[in-house]
Amino acid sequence: MSHFGPISRANVRFVRVWFSRLVSFVFLLLPAYALTAYVLLPAAWQRCARRAIVPTTHPISYTAEGIPADPINVALLGTRGEVIAAMRAAGWALADPITVRSGLRDAHSVLFDRSYPSAPMSTHYLARRPQDLAFEQSAGRSPRRRHHIRLWKMSGPSPGQAVWLGAATYDSGLGMSRFTGEVMHHIDPNVDAERNKLAQDLLATQRVAKLRILPGTAVAASLNGGGDFYRSDGKILVPVLK
């Protein structure tokens, strides 16, 4: 027993030394990753994103770096109050704005699989404007998987009424952006299915006076702001709210 005692203590010291070195390496690596993924690469994309990705004639949103993001596939017709009431009646929650508090709660809910039905969404832009409203519907316990849509308010056909252009997609899980390395959600490639689901949810509320379909311009296939492949027939559903 005395023969194995010193060897055991030496092994313990060896493990402790290498563990401390590993921790130090990780703490040094994290700032380098954050600088690269959230500062350097996004800045580079602001210069070359539109050249690197094949453009589409279909209306799409853009990320803050100018990377083409999600296709516009919904256009709600109604007032702000009608949109919020209809979406809530359909079982969709209004997303919280991005703040330090909501960001920490979002990270906690994702890491520990806790419920947060109104988790904030990243900001996308249409006509150089951030989304005016965003809604989501959880597809699991935490915001790792969720149905979601961003809406931009445009002028409507009559006073007090507006056209809300929307990009509806399904977040299928967490991962890293294939363009910048940022932590983000990846979307399901069948964006038409998400568009149709939203229309069905709204029709079930009996708050839709009529449903129109605009042919749009076929998207066929493209990449979104995180490098995810998606396909679409290019049609835009237009629920006219009561």
pLDDT, block means (10 residues), the chain with 242 residues: 54 62 58 51 56 61 87 94 96 95 89 92 93 95 93 80 93 80 84 96 95 80 81 93 90
Judged by phi (left if over 0) then psi (alpha if -120 to 50, else beta), residue 227 lies in left
What is the number of alpha carbons within 13 Å of residue 201 lying toward its C-beta? Answer: 23
Strand residues in the chain grouped as ranges (E): 60-62, 68-71, 74-78, 93-94, 125-126, 129-130, 133-138, 146-155, 162-176, 183-187, 208-214, 220-223, 229-232, 236-241
164: how many CB neighbours lie within 10 A of its CB? Answer: 25
The token pair at 134 is: 């965003």
**Other residues' Cβ atoms within 10 Å of the Cβ of residue 126:** 23
Residue 1's pLDDT is 47
Per DSSP, the three-state class of 210 is: strand
- What tokens does 168 get? 């509806």
Yes or no: say if 147 and 173 are a contact pair by the CB < 8 Å rule. Answer: no
Beta strand pairing call for 183-187 and 162-176 = antiparallel
Whole-number pLDDT of residue 4: 46
Q: What is the pLDDT of residue 160?
A: 67
pLDDT in the model for residue 19 = 59
Q: What was the pLDDT predicted at 44?
A: 59
- Among 240, 234, 237, which residue's Cα sits nearest to residue 60? 234
- Residue 16: the pLDDT is 66
- Rounded to whole angstroms, how far apart are CA atoms 128 and 117? 28
How far, rounded to the nearest angstrom, does the alpha carbon of residue 144 sit from its chain's CA centroid? 10
Q: Is 13 exposed, middle or buried (0-12, 13-18, 19+ CB in 10 A)?
A: exposed
What SS3 class is residue 177? coil
pLDDT at position 6: 52
* pTM for the model: 0.77
User: What does the pLDDT read at residue 47?
Assistant: 57
Give the gyration radius of the chain's Cα atoms: 23
Give kind and range of the element (H or E) at residue 197: helix 191-204
Query: What is the rounded distance in angstroms from the CA atom of residue 65 to the CA atom of residue 79?
Result: 31
In the chain, where are the structural domains located? 1-52, 57-241
Question: Beta strand pairing status for 229-232 and 220-223?
Answer: antiparallel
Q: What is the pLDDT of residues 140-172, one digit of tens each?
A: 888 889 999 999 999 866 666 799 999 999 999
